[in-house]
């Protein structure tokens, strides 16, 4: 038994979509969330920059005594997860696998779209996964232009949020795509707009939040570091930005939790 917290890290608010699935699936586990905030968005940055931010974040979480780190950010995973695992080989570090595999295995049209940040799409991780599971599937890559900024500002439900999503999603409609992979952890917060737009086009929207939570559960068992069944979990929030940002993270997380 190990009641230490699991660390969850993202460039900002996006990893809360992973945090939410961890809360749901592992209600006795304490979680320590670090939303960078100061350097967000990561999407247009270089691998070197993102790797440096990820090292600072994991260093901080490890200093706080976490037993495992979940990189709740596709961009930081594609840039840095191997280097992080090399540096901290004594604790499990879980990266975010985009849901390309289930999309490839279930698509009927053999055409899927992956929505992610510029950096993630450049990294070819999506294409490699697609090739591994279905070499005949065409992968259309789309950047969710402006999505991260909208979620960071808490504008998901605003007309601005809806309009940004419309601009990106509309060109995909009627193009034969039947699976839409959300390859950035900020994007599930815009899922309601995305689903409203694709309705009637036979497009299924998939993300990887739940799969990551299942993987974390499996690793806790495997390393024998799960919390006691009667553990009273704590939820703490850290940032490299200011106290106001930290408070917003905490408030958003608690609002999410109250709806679970």
- Provide the minimum distance between the beta carbon of 63 and ligand DGL in the complex, in angstroms, as a whole number: 23
Interface stretch with ligand DGL, choices 23-31, 67-75, 98-106, 131-139 (CB under 6 A): 67-75
**Catalytic residue chosen out of the listed positions 23, 40, 73, 104:** 73
Active site residue 23: no
Q: Which residue has the tokens 């939820």?
A: 235
Contact pattern for ligand DGL over residues 165 through 184, marking x by CB under 6 A: -------------------x
- Pairing type for strands 235-239 and 31-35 reads parallel
Active site residue 184: yes
Distance CA 173, CA 195 (A): 12
Distance CA 62, CA 57 (A): 9
Per the CB < 8 A criterion, the answer to whether 37 and 63 are in contact is no
Q: Which residue has the tokens 């090739």?
A: 131
Is there binding between residue 123 and ligand DGL (CB under 6 A)?
no
Contacts of 246 (CB under 8 A, 6+ apart): 37, 237, 238, 239
Residue among 42 and 237 whose Cβ is closer to ligand DGL: 42
- Provide the minimum distance between the beta carbon of 231 and ligand DGL in the complex, in angstroms, as a whole number: 28
Distance CA 214, CA 44 (A): 30
Is there binding between residue 75 and ligand DGL (CB under 6 A)?
yes
Is there binding between residue 252 and ligand DGL (CB under 6 A)?
no
Contact pattern for ligand DGL over residues 133 through 152, marking x by CB under 6 A: ---------------x----
């Amino acid at each position: 038994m190990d009641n230490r917290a699991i660390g969850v890290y993202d460039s900002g608010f996006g990893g809360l979509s992973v945090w939410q699935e961890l809360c749901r699936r592992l209600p006795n586990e304490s979680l320590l969330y670090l939303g960078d905030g100061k350097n967000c968005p990561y999407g247009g940055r270089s691998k070197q920059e993102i790797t440096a931010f990820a090292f600072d974040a994991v260093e901080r979480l490890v200093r706080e005594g976490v037993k495992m780190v979940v990189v709740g950010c596709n961009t930081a995973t594609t840039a840095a997860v191997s280097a992080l695992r090399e540096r901290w080989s004594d604790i499990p570090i879980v990266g975010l696998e985009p849901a390309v595999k289930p999309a490839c295995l279930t698509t009927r049209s053999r055409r899927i779209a992956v929505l992610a940040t510029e950096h993630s799409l450049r990294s070819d991780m999506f294409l490699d996964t697609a090739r591994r599971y279905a070499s005949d599937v065409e992968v259309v890559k789309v950047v969710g232009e402006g999505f991260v900024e909208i979620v960071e500002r808490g504008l998901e439900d605003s007309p601005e949020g809806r309009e940004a999503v419309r601009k990106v999603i509309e060109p995909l409609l009627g193009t034969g795509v039947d699976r839409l992979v959300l390859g950035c952890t900020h994007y599930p917060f815009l899922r309601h707009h995305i689903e409203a737009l694709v309705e009637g086009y036979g497009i299924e929207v998939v993300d990887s939040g739940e799969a990551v939570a299942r993987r974390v559960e499996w690793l806790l068992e495997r390393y024998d570091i799960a919390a006691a069944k009667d553990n009273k979990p704590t939820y703490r929030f850290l940032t490299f930005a200011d106290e106001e940002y930290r408070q917003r993270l905490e408030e958003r997380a608690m609002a999410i939790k109250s709806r679970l």
